[in-house]
Amino acid sequence: MIAVVVTRDGSLPVGALETVEEAGGRVLLAGTGTAEAAEALAAEGEALCAAFRPLDALREYRLWATGQPSELGRWKEVKADWRMLPLYLVTVLSRTISSALFAAFLFGTPWRAWREGRRSAVARAGLAVWLLYLGWYTIYAVVHVETRYMAPVLPFAILFGVANLLWLRRGRAEGGGAFGADAA
């Protein structure tokens, strides 16, 4: 399958990214400004889909609302205007935080449930949300996964990711919990 996207003066129509994703990245661009549209597609395709990304959310909203891709906080824009460097650094920082929170949720939740067992209601609730998250993702993966489909479960992933990071920190500080003498 190949996606056909019509461009005008280098701007992509609303829904172009989803169309290209469904076609597995294969796209035929037609119209005016196809080189700029190809660059915009490549730049938007590099976005990391994770839980905490304020600037990426602004870019996606602008694309949805206007059909115009945004270079807000991207390295390409920093090379053109050095004043954009703080926004680029915020983008990198938000993606780092997002990756840490998601890793804490994805790997920390089952580990915490295994370590604490039935003693902790938080660990049991976290495991239930973890299973819900994986089930939700699997259900939509059968059809097509987009960021908007994950919106109902992302707040819980952030919440339990933070809770797991705090649990790990508490375990290190007390010499117990996740890293105590009983960890051996």
- Which residues, 6+ apart, have CB-to-CB distance to 37 below 8 Å? 5, 7, 10, 11, 12, 29, 31
- The mean pLDDT of 98-104, rounded to a whole number, is 88
- Give first-to-last CA distance, the chain, whole Å: 53
Of the two residues 183 and 44, the one the predictor is more confident about is 44
- Which residues, 6+ apart, have CB-to-CB distance to 5 below 8 Å? 12, 13, 16, 19, 20, 27, 28, 29, 30, 37, 41
pLDDT tens readout for residues 41-68: 765 554 333 345 666 666 666 666 777 6
Give the predicted TM-score (pTM) of the model: 0.55
Judged by DSSP in three states, 17 sits in: helix
- The mean pLDDT of 168-172, rounded to a whole number, is 83
Q: What pLDDT, on a 0 to 100 scale, did the predictor assign at position 109?
A: 92
- The mean pLDDT of 7-11, rounded to a whole number, is 78
